[in-house]
Amino acid sequence: MIASVIFDCDGVLVDSEPISNATLAGVLTEIGLAMTPEQSVEAFLGRSWEHAVTVVTERLGEAPPADLHARYRERLFARFEAELEPVLGIAAALDQLGLPRCVASSGSHERIRHGLAVAGLLAYFEDAQIFSAADVEHGKPAPDLFLHAAQQMGFEAARTVVVEDSPAGVRAGVAAGMTVLGYAERTPAELLAREGAVVFDEMSALPQLIHDAS
């Protein structure tokens, strides 16, 4: 029986992916790595900032400017303040869930908390329920982050559901031995299903899906 739930943040709790990928694509284009938002999604969706730096370094042929992250963060947070909304239906779904829960995201702790606060969702998660890829050696698609979150929360992997929206995140959840529900409102359903997720496209369906997984 399912006893706990781990949520990804970007694209699952907060509708940040269009904002973050457009912002990152713009910043990278400015430093000489021309990129569209769609290409940013393909290269970076669900992955850590460290992964992004590795990819950018490989494609540029040199390390990116030292202030790249600061530049990206400043623009991203400004756009969050102006545009960020919760994922449609997530608040109602959280209200209906009677299970212990936490957040495990590839973003930094600062980004996770800021996004949740702007979207009006921070009250659903205490500080001790928020985990970042910065907490582990290997980010998604490695299982480390989900296993770390489960260990800290006292969750049993086999009785935990992960809610994800990226192929890398689904792969991480499956590798952790958890049941994965793939939210396909923006990500092509076939990409999530291919990695082993049970796919859905409306958050209103989430409570019943978790019940059915039990």
Choose, from 10, 15, 144, 165, the residue flagged as catalytic. 10
- By the 8 A CB rule, do 122 and 7 touch? no
β-strands 101-105, 130-132 pairing: parallel
* Whether residue 10 lies in the annotated active site: yes
Cα separation of 135 and 108, whole Å?
A: 9
User: Hey, what are 142's tokens?
Assistant: 């490695």
- By the 8 A CB rule, do 155 and 6 touch? yes
Choose, from 8, 15, 144, 165, the residue flagged as catalytic. 8
User: Hey, what are 120's tokens?
Assistant: 């009006």
* Whether residue 165 lies in the annotated active site: no
Q: One-letter amino acid identity for 194?
A: R
Residues with active-site annotation: 8, 10
